[in-house]
Structure 1
């Protein structure tokens, strides 16, 4: 995370950020270690850029509430394993219109199991709870996830929901509006 923060500040694009993280991890990880990641950016109005490095796909929610897994168009290996594959990551451009949302999550969410050993169905949960208020969506997913596992997770889990406000929403002043994706919310589950 520290390498990402430094690289994101210094590098001009996402691929350079990913390359820098890869170099750092190659120096610091053991030969059997790796990190899955999704690195995303918002370079211009109406478009997200995503680099998927071996991670489960984020979930895109369009303004109508339809949920779609963003399967990588150009799959890349997890960070720390590029030297074994020689595969170079590539950017994937996604439309990101007013009202669209992108849910990023850790595997602790999708690998959470109930008493019968069934995995938590995140896409279905998102479809049930999606709203125009990211905090409300995340609260509902968090509550449902904890109910699914009987109240206690056995792995760390995090959810990050980014929403592109509609033009009429962006006109309203917001106390913490750092940019066009100001309606982002995060929930950590423990």
Structure 2
């Protein structure tokens, strides 16, 4: 929530706590709990952070905890499906105001499957007619052989939608579980597009 230096500071806080907790805590829900406790001590009463925290603890198993964030998109072959939270939880920093608590959601994540995570700067990008960017349709159009090529195509599709320049920060993260036959490839590939800076890597 928010923009400018306060939002940057909040993001830095969340990432710092996450990086520490990810090494110490064996369970994803415990990582989320550490972030929540830190934010309760450090955020103002009106501040909050939406997040999807994901882990792949073993082959074929993807764990996610969604705290008020837009649902990731699961790509299996050419099919794109939103991973809607079964038990929605409030954004981080607002748990004290809600009886809902984060819950772990397990999704099959097999060889070749991909998961797209994104910020609201992507889905809230508008064209000249004020229509929001249809991310699921854009992703389906942009699927390519490799995650780097998919992100590059998706990035271009988004820029085409808005007329060449975004007016808000936006980021895309694409995770892919390599097929077993692809020897020597790491377990998960993490291409990132920082579409505010018009780069894809």
TM-score bucket (shorter structure): over 0.9
Q: 1:10 aligns with which of 13, 20, 24?
A: 24
1:184 aligns with 2:157: no
TM-score (norm 1): 0.93
Which residue number corresponds to residue 148 of structure 1? 161
Moved over 3 A (4+): none
Which residue number corresponds to residue 67 of structure 1? 80
Q: Which structure 2 segments of 5+ residues have no match?
A: 1-14, 197-201
Q: Across the two proteins, how many residue pairs are aligned to each other?
A: 182
Which residue number corresponds to residue 34 of structure 2? 20
Once the two structures are TM-superposed, the CA of residue 53 in structure 1 deviates from its matched residue by: 0.2
Q: Flag the 1:93–1:155 CA change in 2: closer, same or farther, 3 A.
A: same
| 1:163-185: CA deviation from partner (whole Å, max 9, x where unpaired) | 1111101x1x34xx3xx11x221
> Per chain length, whose mean CA-contact separation is higher, i.e. which structure has more relative contact order (CA < 8 Å, sep 6+)?
1
TM-score (norm 2): 0.88
Which residue number corresponds to residue 60 of structure 2? 46
CA-based RMSD of the aligned residues comes to 1.0
Q: Which structure 1 segments of 5+ residues have no match?
A: none
